[in-house]
Amino acid sequence: MMGWKLVTNKKSPLTYMTEIPSEFDSPTYRDVLSQFDAAAEWFCLDPNIRKRLRLPQRALCVTMPIRMDNGDVHVFQGFRGQHDTSLGPTKGGIRYHPDVNLGEVAALAMNMTWKCSLAGLPYGGAKGGIRCNPKNMSRRELQRLTRRYTAEIFPLIGPDHDIPAPDVGTDEHVMAWIMDTYSQQRGYAVPGVVTGKPICIGGSLGREEATGRGVVYVALEAMKHLGIKIDGTTAVVQGFGNVGSISARFLSEAGIKVIGVSDSTCGIYNSNGLNIPDVIAYKKAKHTLDGFPDGEIITNEELLELECTVVIPAALSGQIKEDNAHRLKCRMVVEGANNPTTKEGDGILKDRGIYVIPDILANSGGVIVSYFEWVQDLQKYFWKEKEINEKLHDIIITAFNRVLRFSLSENIDMRMASMAIAIRRLADAHLARGLYP
Ligand code: GLU
């Protein structure tokens, strides 16, 4: 290891600019950066590396004129940010949401760098997105938009370069259109350009469930550490997309009573426990949780404040914040979404002794199985589901226990311990590679 070692509990000799270039300034960027700065300060990260890692390596803004079904042309804005390429290609999802902006994408790309590093994957972080409302668009419009976006970001992506995956508002169909558009340009099938695609074109068994499965593996391991028995444990899940619905399913299969879940329209609550397979079937049929017969309707705010053992925020950023963090009545928060807790919210949870498993650890199951999918695509050799789930369990639980040991030995919380371990790996890579030119 070259010229860099972990130095703990010393005051950094330098004070840092806290400014964020206006291009990237956004609430999410400020939250993600404050976590990085706190960890960098704590272990006196080399100041030059710190300056570098505070910013994305590349960020691209694109605009896309799309013919809508009614004949009008609408011009959409899209983004792709790549945070760091020192460990390998960049990796991260693509989100379709009305609030997507460059600052959010750049922040979430940084978050992906820490997530991949913590899991020991050979990737840096990336994130992309299009400002649109996929719920109000037809499948044909979404397909045209996805193909044009792929054409616009074509110079940035590829199996050795940057590998997108699903995120908020995107799914395996979107990945199939990206894979097809990219492959048409190359002239041959390139399955390794995206992960989270359908099995029939090189997707991996277990990828769809991977994030929720990982969330529950980590939650169960944390309960073991805290001495919480499954019997009598209750959980609340905010968000009923891929991560939320699958986490709820695995929690209930593990014997945990899921008393509340929500989607963007409302929450539902049943103190005796919701029948999760029924809730999933209802949501699939009606596209909303509203009207689910076997639960009381509550708001998303009320949901987070229910008395329970575990809260899993699995929706959007910034849900646990200054206004509501002091009202949470749970023992643990397991972050299924990216950046669901603001800096202020995190401080309040910490002061109140609520145990938080940070996003870069808790929701890393998705990118871990994306890595397996990419490896299978490159090798053209596909694995059995059992093998995939076992390997996922091994990587995520090893990471959890490493973070736990570090947090106990240094008397720091799980977020700081996760960040310190993740950043250290990046710092080693930067120092080993040196500066170009
Ligand atoms: N969008 C997911 C995340 O934020 C998965 C990324 C991936 O599989 O590349 O972790």
> Rounded mean pLDDT of the chain?
95
CA 118 to ligand 1 centroid distance, Å = 14
Domain encompassing residue 150: 58-190
pLDDT in tens, 62-97: 999 999 999 999 999 999 999 999 999 999 999 999
pLDDT in tens, 206-235: 999 999 999 999 999 999 999 999 999 999
pLDDT at 107 over 50: yes
Instruction: Report residue 77: phi and psi, to 5°.
Output: -110, 140
Is 320 inside any structural domain? yes
If one residue of 28, 108, 370, 373 were mutated to test the ligand 1 pocket, choosing by the most ligand atoms within 8 A of its CB, it would be 370
246 lines ligand 1 (CB under 6 A): no
Query: What's the whole-model pTM score?
Result: 0.96
214 lines ligand 1 (CB under 6 A): no
Given 340, 362, 384, the domain boundary residue is 362
Same-domain pairing of 113 and 216: no
Is 45 inside any structural domain? no
Q: Which residues contact 217 (CB under 8 A, 6 or more apart)?
A: 365, 392, 393, 396, 397
Is 155 inside any structural domain? yes
User: pLDDT at position 327, please?
Assistant: 98
Given 329, 345, 362, the domain boundary residue is 362
pLDDT in tens, 334-359: 999 999 999 999 999 999 999 999 99
The CATH number of the domain holding residue 282 is 3.40.50.720
Is 217 inside any structural domain? yes
Nearest by Cα to 333 from 323, 379, 321? 321
CA 297 to ligand 1 centroid distance, Å = 31
The CATH number of the domain holding residue 128 is 3.40.50.10860
Active-site hit among 91, 115, 127, 321: 127
Same-domain pairing of 305 and 165: no
CA 356 to ligand 1 centroid distance, Å = 20
Among 3-17, 287-301, 351-365, which is the least confidently predicted range?
3-17
pLDDT in tens, 389-422: 999 999 999 999 999 999 999 999 999 999 999 9
Number of domains in the chain: 2
pLDDT at 26 over 60: yes
CA 250 to ligand 1 centroid distance, Å = 19
Same-domain pairing of 185 and 214: no
Is the CB of residue 372 less than 8 Å from the CB of residue 196?
no
Q: For residue 163, give the ligand 1 atom closest to its CA.
A: 9
User: pLDDT at position 18, please?
Assistant: 66
Q: Decide the pairing of beta strands 310-313 and 234-238.
A: parallel
Same-domain pairing of 167 and 259: no
pLDDT at 295 over 50: yes
Burial zone of 231 (CB within 10 Å; 0-12 exposed, 13-18 middle, 19+ buried):
exposed
Same-domain pairing of 217 and 358: yes
Q: For residue 363, give the ligand 1 atom closest to its CA.
A: 10
User: pLDDT at position 20, please?
Assistant: 87
Is 367 inside any structural domain? no
Tell me the one-letter amino acid at 334. V
Q: How far apart are CA 343 and CA 4, in angstroms?
A: 29
Q: Which residues contact 289 (CB under 8 A, 6 or more apart)?
A: 240, 261, 262, 263, 265, 266, 267, 268, 279, 282, 283
Same-domain pairing of 186 and 318: no
Same-domain pairing of 185 and 229: no
pLDDT at 365 over 60: yes
Same-domain pairing of 218 and 322: yes
Same-domain pairing of 101 and 141: yes
pLDDT average, residue stretch 53-61:
97
Is 197 inside any structural domain? no
pLDDT average, residue stretch 225-248:
97
Instruction: Write out the chain in H/E/C secondary structure.
Output: CCCCCCCCCCCCCCCCCCCCCCCCCCHHHHHHHHHHHHHHHHCCCCHHHHHHHCCCCEEEEEEEEEECCCCCEEEEEEEEEECCCCCCCEEEEEEEECCCCHHHHHHHHHHHHHHHHHCCCCCEEEEEEEECCHHHCCHHHHHHHHHHHHHHHHHHCECCCEEEEECCCCCHHHHHHHHHHHHHHHCCCCHHHCCCCCHHHCCCCCHHHHHHHHHHHHHHHHHHHHCCCCCCCEEEEECCCHHHHHHHHHHHHCCCEEEEEECCCCEEECCCCCCHHHHHHHHHHHCCCCCCCCCEEECHHHHHCCECCEEEECCCCCCECCCCHHHCECCEEECCCCCCECHHHHHHHHHCCCEEECHHHHCCHHHHHHHHHHHHHHHCCCCCHHHHHHHHHHHHHHHHHHHHHHHHHHCCCHHHHHHHHHHHHHHHHHHHHCCCC
User: pLDDT at position 254, please?
Assistant: 98
Same-domain pairing of 86 and 153: yes
Apex 237 CA angle, 292 and 413, nearest 5 = 170
Same-domain pairing of 99 and 214: no
97 lines ligand 1 (CB under 6 A): no
Is the CB of residue 211 less than 8 Å from the CB of residue 167?
no
Same-domain pairing of 146 and 235: no
Angle between helices 207-226 and 242-253 (to 10 degrees): 50
pLDDT average, residue stretch 296-316:
97
Tell me the one-letter amino acid at 138. S
Nearest by Cα to 335 from 224, 416, 238? 238
User: pLDDT at position 287, please?
Assistant: 94
Is 390 inside any structural domain? no
pLDDT at 426 over 60: yes
Given 157, 190, 223, the domain boundary residue is 190
Signed CA dihedral, 170, 363, 56, 165: sign only:
negative
Is there a catalytic annotation at residue 391?
A: no
Nearest by Cα to 114 from 40, 42, 41? 40
Omega before 437 cis (within 30°)? yes
User: pLDDT at position 16, please?
Assistant: 52
Signed CA dihedral, 118, 375, 86, 129: sign only:
negative
Q: For residue 91, give the ligand 1 atom closest to its CA.
A: 9
pLDDT at 6 over 70: no
Q: How far apart are CA 53 and CA 55, in angstroms?
A: 5
Q: How far apart are CA 213 and CA 246, in angstroms?
A: 7
pLDDT in tens, 157-194: 999 999 999 999 999 999 999 999 999 999 999 999 99
Is 369 inside any structural domain? no
Residue 382 is encoded by which pair of tokens? Answer: 């596909």
Nearest by Cα to 413 from 421, 400, 403? 403
The percentage of the chain sitting over the pLDDT mark of 90, rounded to a whole number, equals 95
